[in-house]
């Protein structure tokens, strides 16, 4: 029988206490994205505070090879965060009882009763929107010591990185809401309604508007000259002396002028959607320096994603653990490079139209030889974020290592399809000896290249040609 969340967290605490008392070493393995780096750093920080002997490493995916590597690992106990769903039986046979998975991805029914799997879905929480791996790691850290409540701030970054700000006006719901409130009560975060422009604390206003791709504003997104012209016509002051002002410095009246100008520019069928996406709750960390990319929660999460996606996970992990010296400048450089890469990939995909095929309900994108496998999720999310793709499912594929093909699927804004992408990707991948899974609205899969045509036929039948229950608005 499935334990309650409190029972599972108590079990986790007992396991860790036993490791510390008997001087067993602990290994933390986590994913490379924002939620992975934050959940890994939250649990690692809590373990260090408790006096545990632990190390942390990252992995871009969880597979039988990763489980096999645990056999020869010198560490005695393994904690896996933001990964590991569907691998409980392999972990049992390899490690016995010396492991715990802290996760939020949908899992097969057979794992529901495994006490070593501490997964949001087992306790009636929607791991797609109510809590992510960072939140689960935070709850586990709180079971060790309530003084770990200061780690709530990093848990906010993880939820933003996994786009769980799905409540009204980009607010949090469920456990995420509770965790954010804890951080707010402790003065760790300020939560306000504001313009959701990229680089709120760091980017000159024209750049901030130009690089805001969610929502994608046709004619403005990635067009700095058009943004500069629009902002000039709005009448707001763009510079303070010789320095460009950033969005966080705008007063309420100036924000109103910017909103008015964008509303006029976007007048048309997507205007309401665009404006609803552009105004929402912001999460500002007042203890970080003004004009730092760590001060705004969403920018912090983007920086962490960029570290993982271009194989610099260690930098992101160090920043989450509190390093604020030279490593911070490295993080800034990585973020700049990452954004440049995204622009290049999106530009190529939009110019090479043969790569994109559309049906009434689905957009299939061939990113082979363009998009690296570590960035499929980022690019598919951006494509799904474009208003012109509203209501559709986006499936992007690209080449992976060792003769594999990586797929990333996303439901766009306004998509009301009943298809559960996690189930589609997991079932389909297993059918063709691959691995897959994720969430209802965001999932991925990996198969060998020789199974590509069969997998595409499977998607054709189960996604592409499945009509929507009602036409999207």
Per-residue pLDDT in tens (0 to 9) along the chain, 473 residues:
568 999 999 999 999 999 999 999 999 999 999 999 999 999 999 999 999 999 999 999 998 889 999 989 999 999 999 998 889 999 999 999 999 999 999 999 999 999 999 999 999 999 999 999 999 999 999 999 999 999 999 999 999 999 999 999 999 999 999 999 999 999 999 999 999 999 999 999 999 999 887 777 888 988 999 999 999 999 999 999 999 999 999 999 999 999 999 988 987 757 787 888 899 999 999 999 999 999 999 999 999 999 999 899 999 999 999 998 889 899 989 988 998 999 899 999 999 999 999 999 999 999 999 999 999 999 999 899 887 888 999 999 999 998 999 999 999 988 999 999 999 999 999 999 999 998 999 999 999 999 999 999 999 999 988 876 654 43
CA distance 80 to 420: 25
CA distance 157 to 41: 12
Whether pTM > 0.85 for this model: the answer is: yes
C-alpha distances (whole Å) from 257 to each of 33, 204, 264, 283 are 36, 17, 11, 22
Strand order in the sheet with 435-438: 356-358, 362-366, 393-400, 404-411, 442-448, 435-438
- Tell how strand 99-103 and strand 117-119 pair up: parallel
Residues 6+ apart with CB under 8 A from 242: none
Residue 58 is inside which H or E element, if any?
A: strand 53-59
- Alpha carbon distance, N-terminus to C-terminus of the chain: 43
- Alpha helices (H) in 248-396, listed in sequence order: 252-265, 271-278, 297-309, 313-320, 326-351, 376-385
Tokens (6 digits) for 379: 């690019």
C-alpha distances (whole Å) from 283 to each of 33, 99, 157, 206 are 19, 34, 9, 22
Residue-wise burial string across 138-164, b where 16 or more C-beta atoms lie within 10 A, e elsewhere: bbbbbbbeeebbebbbbbbbbbbbbbb
Instruction: Quote the radius of gyration of the chain (alpha carbons, Å).
Output: 22
Q: What are residue 54's DSSP bridge partners?
A: 26
Q: What is the pLDDT of residue 397?
A: 98
Q: What is the pLDDT of residue 471?
A: 42
CB of 130 closer than 8 Å to CB of 175? yes
CA distance 453 to 144: 49
Give the count of beta carbons closer than 10 Å to the beta carbon of residue 294: 22
Q: What is the pLDDT of residue 472?
A: 40
Tokens (6 digits) for 217: 């504003």
Give the count of beta carbons closer than 10 Å to the beta carbon of residue 280: 18
- Helix and strand numbers (H, E) in the chain are 17, 15
């Amino acid at each position: 029988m499935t334990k309650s969340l409190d029972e599972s967290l108590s079990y986790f605490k007992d396991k860790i206490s036993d490791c510390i008392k008997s001087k067993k070493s602990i290994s933390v393995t986590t994913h490379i994205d924002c939620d992975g780096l934050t959940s890994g750093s939250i649990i690692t920080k809590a373990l260090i505070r408790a006096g545990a002997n632990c190390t942390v490493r990252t992995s871009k995916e969880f597979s039988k090879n990763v489980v096999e590597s645990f056999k020869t690992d010198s560490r005695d106990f393994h904690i896996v965060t933001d990964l590991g769903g569907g691998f409980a039986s392999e972990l049992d046979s390899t490690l016995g009882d010396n492991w715990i998975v802290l996760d939020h991805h949908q899992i097969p029914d057979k794992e529901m009763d495994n006490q070593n799997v501490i997964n949001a879905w087992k306790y009636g929480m929607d791991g797609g929107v109510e809590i992510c791996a960072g939140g689960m790691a935070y709850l586990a850290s709180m079971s060790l010591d309530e003084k770990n409540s200061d780690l709530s701030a990093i848990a906010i970054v993880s939820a933003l990185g996994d786009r769980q700000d799905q409540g009204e006006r980009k607010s949090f719901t469920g456990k995420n809401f509770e965790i954010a409130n804890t951080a707010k009560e402790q003065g760790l975060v300020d939560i306000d309604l504001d313009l959701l422009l990229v680089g709120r604390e760091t980017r000159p206003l024209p750049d901030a508007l130009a690089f805001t791709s969610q929502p994608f504003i046709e004619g403005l997104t990635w067009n700095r000259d058009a943004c500069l012209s629009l902002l000039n016509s709005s009448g707001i002051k763009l510079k303070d002396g010789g320095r460009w002002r950033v969005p966080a410095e705008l007063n309420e009246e100036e924000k109103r002028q910017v909103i008015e100008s964008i509303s006029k520019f976007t007048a048309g069928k997507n205007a309401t959607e665009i404006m609803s996406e552009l105004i929402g709750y912001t999460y500002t960390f007042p203890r970080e320096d003004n004009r730092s990319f760590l001060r705004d929660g969403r920018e912090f999460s983007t920086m962490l994603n960029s570290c993982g996606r271009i194989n610099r996970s260690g930098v992101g992990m160090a920043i989450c653990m509190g390093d604020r010296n030279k490593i911070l400048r490295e993080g800034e450089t990585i973020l700049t490079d990452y954004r440049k890469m995204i622009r290049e990939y999106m530009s190529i995909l939009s110019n090479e139209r043969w790569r994109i095929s559309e049906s009434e309900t689905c957009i299939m994108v061939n990113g082979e030889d363009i998009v690296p496998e570590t960035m499929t999720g980022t690019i598919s999310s951006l494509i799904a974020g474009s208003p012109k793709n509203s209501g559709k499912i986006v499936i992007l594929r690209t080449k992976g290592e060792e003769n594999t093909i990586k797929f990333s699927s996303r439901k766009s804004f306004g998509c009301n399809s009943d298809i559960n992408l996690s189930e589609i990707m997991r079932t389909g991948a297993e059918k063709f000896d691959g691995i897959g899974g994720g969430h209802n609205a965001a999932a991925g899969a990996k198969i060998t290249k020789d199974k590509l045509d069969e997998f595409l036929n499977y998607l054709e039948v189960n996604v592409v040609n499945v009509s929507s229950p009602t036409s999207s608005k």
